[in-house]
């Protein structure tokens, strides 16, 4: 492994890194140069166990032969095909495979290149759908506090994260937010929390104030990942579904993290047994290897657009790389890997062991909550007074030195390992995290 030393470039100035403390990083960079299975390799040749599937995306682990081969084959066969007014077989094939995995009635796929674009696409479709049906006053959008829906203007407007919004002006007009569901009564819950289904009723108050005839859609993550693994209380999503249905409001599940096995089923919708009108996906769709996102919409939504003269474009929306051949090939190979290797089943089978290991961290210094579902988990720490986020970030740095990749958001450690993991990986990840926590100031 020593041949990997010195592969890092010596000038880090030009690259303005996303969601990164650039100056701090560049003083002491953390570089990955290779990955295989559950492990990354650093520029210094150290192995680091991936506790986060990259950024919640490499659900099938790294360097999966099927995906690598599919991409190589596709790039030599058909590298690019125009996305507008032309097609190529794999984009259609992937859409068919996708709708086979979704709840009944979720029948149509609109491709994007990221989760953020999937969110913008779904919000636009929601507004345009109502207009197509003659309900053009339905334009308002409702998100939720602590929701993350990517970084474009629609997404940060319906999103509920202050720092992601505050520097960016007026955002989108006509947006309301429901309260989040993260309440202290549920601390140290295993799986879905008992308390808080009634928080969904806050939507009724927003509807009463804004009137249903003005509201297009509600968007939520079935399980809010990016703000620290906030699980839906039992019954909460069912109530949201009932209220939105009653008022003719579309329900969008942002499944960018919960899609593709994270909770032990194909999607959050299947896991929680609640069917929305649209789902946004990305990340695990191509195992994170090639950028791709997708909106999956109900037949009712899709069919509302299939009107008017047949030579007319029905929806004036799309991206140069929508359904890109290489991304489609990667997506097909990824879905095949999930299926052939039984990865969702593995996530389900390991969930109990994962839960016990994670909750074994209870009682360690600063730990004020632990929560889990499927192969996802969070450990919440008390913030240092006057210095929020500092303690968890120190844990992240110490964990990296100890050979595990974790992710922190605020003072919460979030874990979402690849679904190929086994019990010994769980022991390694949680064991090393325990040592980090024991030594944290």
Ligand X SMILES: Cc1ncc(COP(=O)(O)O)c(C=O)c1O
Interaction residues for ligand X, span 273-292 (CB under 6 A): 282
Q: Which two tokens stand for residue 348?
A: 């389900």
Helix 423-438 and helix 343-359: axis angle, to 10°?
A: 30
Q: Is 354 in the site for ligand X (CB under 6 A)?
A: no
Q: Which two tokens stand for residue 70?
A: 């599919």
Q: How far is the CB of 143 from ligand X (least distance, A)?
A: 11
Q: Is 41 in the site for ligand X (CB under 6 A)?
A: no
Q: Is 232 in the site for ligand X (CB under 6 A)?
A: no
How many CB atoms within 10 Å of residue 326?
A: 24
CA distances from 205 to 40, 122, 176, 199 (A): 48, 24, 11, 11
Is the separation of the CB atoms in 148 and 159 below 8 Å?
yes
Q: Is 226 in the site for ligand X (CB under 6 A)?
A: yes
Q: Is 257 in the site for ligand X (CB under 6 A)?
A: yes
Q: Residues 70, 94, 256, 412: which binds ligand X (CB under 6 A)?
A: 256
Q: How far is the CB of 360 from ligand X (least distance, A)?
A: 27
DSSP line for 244-279: HHHTT-EEEEE-TTTTTTTTSSS-HHHHHT---SEE
217/257 with CB nearer ligand X: 257
The closest alpha carbon to 163, from 148, 185, 144, belongs to 148
Q: Residues 61, 115, 143, 193: which binds ligand X (CB under 6 A)?
A: 115
Phi, psi of 381 (to 5 degrees): -110, 155
Q: How far is the CB of 11 from ligand X (least distance, A)?
A: 27
Q: Is 116 in the site for ligand X (CB under 6 A)?
A: yes
DSSP line for 384-426: BTTBTTHHHHHHHHHHHHHTEE-EEETTEEEE---TT--HHHH
Q: How far is the CB of 265 from ligand X (least distance, A)?
A: 17
Is the separation of the CB atoms in 440 and 395 below 8 Å?
yes
Q: Is 149 in the site for ligand X (CB under 6 A)?
A: yes
Q: Residues 107, 120, 176, 221: which binds ligand X (CB under 6 A)?
A: 221
Piece of 127-135, 253-261, 327-335, 394-402 that binds ligand X (CB under 6 A): 253-261
Q: In what order do the strands lie in the sheet with 404-405?
A: 32-36, 39-42, 47-50, 404-405
Q: How many residues bind ligand X (CB under 6 A)?
A: 14
Q: Which two tokens stand for residue 6?
A: 């010195």
Q: Is 119 in the site for ligand X (CB under 6 A)?
A: yes
Q: Is 176 in the site for ligand X (CB under 6 A)?
A: no
Q: How far is the CB of 56 from ligand X (least distance, A)?
A: 6
Q: Is 148 in the site for ligand X (CB under 6 A)?
A: yes
The tally of CA atoms less than 13 A away on the side-chain side of residue 225 is 25
Q: Is 33 exposed, middle or buried (0-12, 13-18, 19+ CB in 10 A)?
A: middle
Q: Is 53 in the site for ligand X (CB under 6 A)?
A: no
Q: Is 420 in the site for ligand X (CB under 6 A)?
A: no
Q: How far is the CB of 159 from ligand X (least distance, A)?
A: 8
Q: How many residues does the chain have?
A: 441
120/398 with CB nearer ligand X: 120
Piece of 147-155, 168-176, 366-374, 405-413 that binds ligand X (CB under 6 A): 147-155
Q: How far is the CB of 187 from ligand X (least distance, A)?
A: 23
Closest-approach residue to ligand X (CB):
115
Piece of 220-228, 244-252, 314-322, 363-371 that binds ligand X (CB under 6 A): 220-228
Q: Residues 176, 254, 380, 411: which binds ligand X (CB under 6 A)?
A: 254
63/152 with CB nearer ligand X: 152
Alpha-carbon dihedral angle through residues 87, 88, 89, 93, given to the nearest 10 degrees: -70
Q: Is 253 in the site for ligand X (CB under 6 A)?
A: no
Piece of 108-116, 190-198, 311-319, 372-380 that binds ligand X (CB under 6 A): 108-116
**Burial call 125-151: b when 16+ CB within 10 Å, e when fewer:** bbbbbbebeeeeebbbbbbbbbbbbbb
What does the binding site for ligand X look like in residue numbers (CB under 6 A)?
114-116, 119, 148-150, 221, 225-226, 254, 256-257, 282
């Amino acid at each position: 492994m020593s041949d990997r030393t010195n592969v890092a470039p010596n000038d880090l100035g030009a690259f303005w890194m996303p969601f990164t403390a650039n100056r701090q990083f560049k003083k002491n960079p953390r570089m990955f140069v290779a990955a295989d299975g559950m492990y990354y390799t650093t520029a210094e040749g150290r192995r680091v166990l991936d506790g986060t599937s990259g950024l919640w995306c490499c659900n099938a682990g790294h360097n999966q032969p099927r995906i690598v081969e599919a991409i190589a084959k596709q790039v030599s066969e058909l590298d690019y095909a125009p996305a507008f007014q032309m097609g190529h077989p794999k984009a259609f094939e992937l859409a068919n495979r996708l709708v086979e995995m979704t709840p009944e009635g979720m029948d149509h796929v609109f491709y994007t290149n990221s989760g953020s674009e999937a969110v913008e696409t779904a919000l636009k479709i929601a507004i345009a759908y109502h207009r197509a049906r003659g309900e053009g006053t339905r334009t308002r959008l409702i998100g939720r506090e602590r929701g993350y829906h990517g970084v474009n203007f629609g997404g940060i407007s319906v999103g509920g994260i202050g720092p992601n919004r505050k520097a960016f002006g007026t955002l989108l007009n006509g947006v309301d937010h429901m309260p989040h569901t993260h309440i202290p009564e549920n601390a140290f819950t295993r799986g879905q929390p008992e308390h808080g289904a009634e928080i969904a009723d806050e939507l009724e108050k927003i509807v009463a104030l804004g009137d249903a005839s003005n509201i297009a859609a509600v968007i939520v993550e079935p399980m809010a990942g990016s703000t620290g693994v906030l699980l839906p209380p039992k019954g909460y999503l069912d109530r949201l579904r009932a209220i939105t249905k009653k008022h003719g409001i579309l329900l969008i599940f942002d499944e960018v993290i919960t899609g593709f096995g994270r909770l032990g089923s194909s999607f959050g919708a299947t896991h929680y047994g609640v069917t929305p009108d649209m789902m946004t996906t990305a990340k695990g769709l191509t195992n994170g290897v090639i950028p791709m996102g997708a909106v999956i919409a109900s037949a009712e939504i899709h069919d509302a657009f299939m009107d008017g003269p047949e030579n007319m474009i029905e929806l004036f929306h799309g991206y140069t790389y929508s359904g890109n051949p290489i991304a489609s090939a990667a997506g097909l190979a990824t879905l095949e890997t999930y299926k052939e290797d039984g990865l969702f089943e593995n996530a389900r089978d390991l969930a109990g062991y994962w839960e016990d290991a994670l909750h074994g961290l209870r009682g360690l210094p600063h730990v004020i909550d632990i929560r889990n579902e499927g192969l996802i988990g969070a450990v919440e720490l008390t913030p240092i007074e006057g210095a929020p986020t500092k303690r968890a970030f120190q844990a992240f740095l110490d964990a990296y030195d100890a050979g595990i990749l974790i992710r922190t958001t605020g003072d919460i450690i979030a874990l979402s390992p690849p679904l190929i993991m086994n019990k010994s990986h769980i022991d390694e990840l949680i064991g090393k995290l325990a040592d980090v926590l024991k030594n944290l100031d």
